[in-house]
C-alpha cells in the first residue's frame, strides 16, 4: 500500500440488493430516512419537555419542604389533651 492510498474499511463495494434496490429506485429511502428523523426529533423533544417538568416539580417540592421546616420551627408545640 502506498502512502496516498485511501482506506476503504466499512465502505460497501457490492451493489445494492433486494429492498435497498426497490427503495432507491422509488426514492422511498429518503422518505424512510425523513420519517426516522421526525421520530427521533419527537423523542428528543418529549424527553426535554419531561425533564423540564420534572425539574419544575422538584423545585416546587423543595420550596414546600423549606416552608414546612420554617413553619415547624416557629409554631408552638402541639397541645396534647389528657384522656
- 23, 32 in Cβ contact below 8 A? yes
Tell me the C-alpha to C-alpha distance, in Å, between residue 5 and each of 2, 8, 12, 57: 6, 9, 17, 58
Q: What is the pLDDT of residue 76?
A: 65
Mean per-residue pLDDT, 5-24: 73
Residue 3 reports pLDDT greater than 60: no
Give which of 11, 14, 32 is closest to 22, Cα–Cα: 32
- pLDDT, tens digit (0-9, with 9 covering 90-100), for 22-81: 877 877 888 888 999 999 999 999 999 999 999 999 999 999 998 888 877 665 666 777
Q: What is the pLDDT of residue 8?
A: 63
Q: pTM of the prediction?
A: 0.55
H helix or E strand, kind and range, residue 27: none
Amino acid at each position: 500500500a502506498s502512502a496516498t492510498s485511501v482506506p476503504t474499511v466499512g465502505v460497501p463495494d457490492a451493489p445494492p440488493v433486494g429492498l435497498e434496490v426497490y427503495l432507491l429506485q422509488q426514492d422511498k429511502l429518503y422518505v424512510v430516512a425523513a420519517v426516522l428523523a421526525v421520530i427521533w426529533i419527537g423523542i428528543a423533544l418529549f424527553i426535554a419537555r419531561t425533564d423540564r417538568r420534572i425539574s419544575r416539580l422538584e423545585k416546587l417540592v423543595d420550596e414546600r419542604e423549606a416552608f414546612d421546616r420554617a413553619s415547624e420551627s416557629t409554631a408552638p408545640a402541639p397541645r396534647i389533651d389528657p384522656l
